[in-house]
Structure 1
Amino acid sequence: MSKLTLGSHPYLLGFEQLERLLERTAKSGNEGYPPFNIEQTSHNSYRITLAVAGFAEEDLAITIEDKQLVIRGRQSDDSEERVFLHRGIAARQFQRSFVLADGVEVGEALIENGLLHIDLTRAEPEQVVQTIKIKSGKK
């Protein structure tokens, strides 16, 4: 017996792209840094919060690439100017990606107290009923 996938299930037509998206997301290499929260702030809105302590606004970049919200952080290296007796706070770069569904819009981004907040909203799709006319095969 073969394994059913989204692309091969008889009642799910046209979902091959979603299956590829799931595979790509699983391989994206999103590790555990930086930690983040996702909260639902209303029926149609969400907030992603990333812990970015030590990153300044200019060290962060937020882009939308191929239906993915991508957050990158890269701190400037000023270690040549400073002498550390102990360095326990890592200044490492990161990239976090979140797949966006159709209709999800990225709103405001705000950084406060070492937390980066990104607000998302989802538009309600219109409920459309379409009637398909049946033609007779006889001429």
Structure 2
Amino acid sequence: MHEFGIAEAVLAAVERRADGRPVRRARVRAGVLLRISPDALDQAFALAADGTVADGAHVELIVDPVRLTCGRCDRTTTSDGLVAVCPACGGTDLAIEGGDELVLESIELVEAAHVPGNSRRDRADPSGSA
């Protein structure tokens, strides 16, 4: 299950971006050539994130297609899988572009349930004196 290695890499990026704050969700964009299973990635991430700022966080996976250009007819198309022939001319001389990227797009932090301080007094004064 290569998703575990990917989950560890995503977790490292999430922890850097979160800077100690608890994380609710991470959005990851991955190329189709990485062949990542969304369910397997979510499970692997849950295991890797146990006890970290991302403990309990969900991973949203967006899969980007690969771009194919036919060397015979010069048609460019995209595919969500590996295509062996050009859909226009049947040619097999295909140049592959992209499809192997992995990007942490965003994280959603858990909102603080309580902010210390007395809202009726100066928040800069932690003792609460006026």
Considering the TM-score relative to the shorter chain, is it more than 0.5?
A: no
TM-score by length of 2: 0.29
TM (normalized to structure 1)? 0.27
- Give 1 or 2: higher helix fraction: 2
Higher RCO (CA < 8 A, seq sep 6+)? 2
